[in-house]
Chains A and B, each alone.
Chain A
Amino acid sequence: MPLGTARGWYGDLTAAEQNLAVAVAVVLGGLILGAVTAWVVRRVLVAFSLDEAVEGTPFERTAQQLGSSSVRLLAQLCGLFVFTVAAVYALRTLGVLPSELFIQELVDFLPRVFIAVLVVMVGLIAADKAELVVGEQLRSIKLPEVTLIPTLVKVSVLYVAVLIALSQLGVATGALLVLLAAYAFGVFFLGGLAFKDLLSSAAAGIYLLLTEPYTIGDEVEVAGNRGIVQEMDVFVTYVEDDGEEYMIPNRMVLREGAMRVRET
């Protein structure tokens, strides 16, 4: 019986040889498990069509120049992590590592490094992707200053990713956090202040579009402007009267109410 012979062979070895055999087995197992993990992760990422989502980002292009791809890199990273864990375990079995304490620290630290690297990678890809998407949305606006916005979005995403990675590694990030808070405050508070009218118009506009109390072709009076509704979108209603077209923000419609003229 092969299993019996193997056990007999194992029993004949000295303790040191036994450890070596276990270590080799663990390393081999780690290799296989790492490869399987990488394969599974890759399949999952492809199944979520991440490879299409990241297409065209600078990160993906760099990866492709190096003969790889973002998906493959991410998968390889996961596989590498699994293998590293196996390798550490094998080294411990062999007793090569100096002390139990060191191993304990290593075990604590490794996942953090892994997550930090993962976060930075995902952050890089997400930042590139965000830059692309925002840039595409703004492409119809032919204004040189507008190119600043995609860059700003990219830097913000990267900043948050780096912050997470650093805090994973245990680096003091207090100052950076304060900066982030100030930045978020600026974006949300001041942005909210600036977009206040747009936001309230959009909220009203969604109600108006869903319920359609009036529609294109109806005669209405809103805030003193009477005419025929020509166009409704999320933000404004266009009311036209004898060649004069009023652009009425939708929040006015809800605040002041609208009068719809019904023919008898």
Chain B
Amino acid sequence: MGIRRGHQARPVEWLAEKFIFLVSLTAIVMVFLIFLFVAREALPLFFGETNTALVQKPIPTADIDKLTPAQLQKYLELTPEQFAAMDKDTLKSLMDVKQEAQDEIPEEFRHDPDANINTTEWRYLLLPHQWNHYEKPEYIWQPVGQIQKYNIIPLLVGTLKTTLIGLLFAVPLSVGAAIYVSQMARPKMREIIKPTIELLSGIPSVVVGFFALLVMATVLQKIFGYQTRLNAFVAGIALGFAVIPVIFSIAEDALTSVPRAYTQAALALGASRWQTAWQIVLPAALPGVFAASVLGFGRAIGETMIVLMVCSASVMSWSIFDSARSITTTIAAEMAEAVSGGPHYRVLFMLGSLLFAATFVSNMIAGAVIQRFKLKLEGKR
């Protein structure tokens, strides 16, 4: 009889299980949908369907009947839905607008060799190009003006610069703090330090950016004496502040969960607290500490506001004391002014998918590395 009573709870358990499964499934579906949407907007770029050449041979409006609907749609840069909703007169006036646009091109650009280039081709997106009036080939991101330049290398370099500076600043500090809090601090001290550092993560990044813009930039310039007040270095340090609580929190958990037996064994052998923490506890917690750093990397590379506020000139320079513009910053700052469906818009979505893919791949690699660390620690490799 007692056994049968279990039946009553089962439908609820079944429901709960299915519900949890659905929730996790939703998360997976969401990730794929977001990627699909972002990548779809960038697709025309991959198929070479965008053309930014300034000088294009206009088709006389009178020739409208000689074009197939598909050709016409492509010529007028319309989506199939837009195209279907328009009658012939609207299409004609759009063709007139095209014609006028070509007529209005200033004389000096008409003979500019760059005016015939489709700047959204891969070689202009990725390789340096010697633009007219420039002395040597250069990487330039300049999505405004008559000839729009979409070289994404300055943005990649800017992203790497700020992210790496942020991590170089944040990882040692937060892992050090985590070691101190988990291994050395008295319980009272721990109760003060831990929540305080974790409180840092509650500060909106706009506020961190504001602080960096007004205070840190000035102070750091006084200390290091570089020329550009707002640069990748300041942005990186500010990013570091945003990343520290993330890394600290997870690294501290990882260090705390190292069995006390290891610590005791090391101390009983005559190791000091420092030696124990550094030589025994940290290596044993390495998978967790590494995972914390990877999460910090994800937070840093995705952080928008801080870099946007502190520096945003898209100069191509490896110097950390020059300005930088990250991918996220570019998307946030330019998406509002990019014409929907236009080349600029497509390139921005391409950057978005690139960021997504980079994060995805780095997480996968990190996962594999962590797995190796773990197996090695457990002696299974």
A, B assembled together: no
Binding site for B on A (CB under 8 A): none
Binding site for A on B (CB under 8 A): none
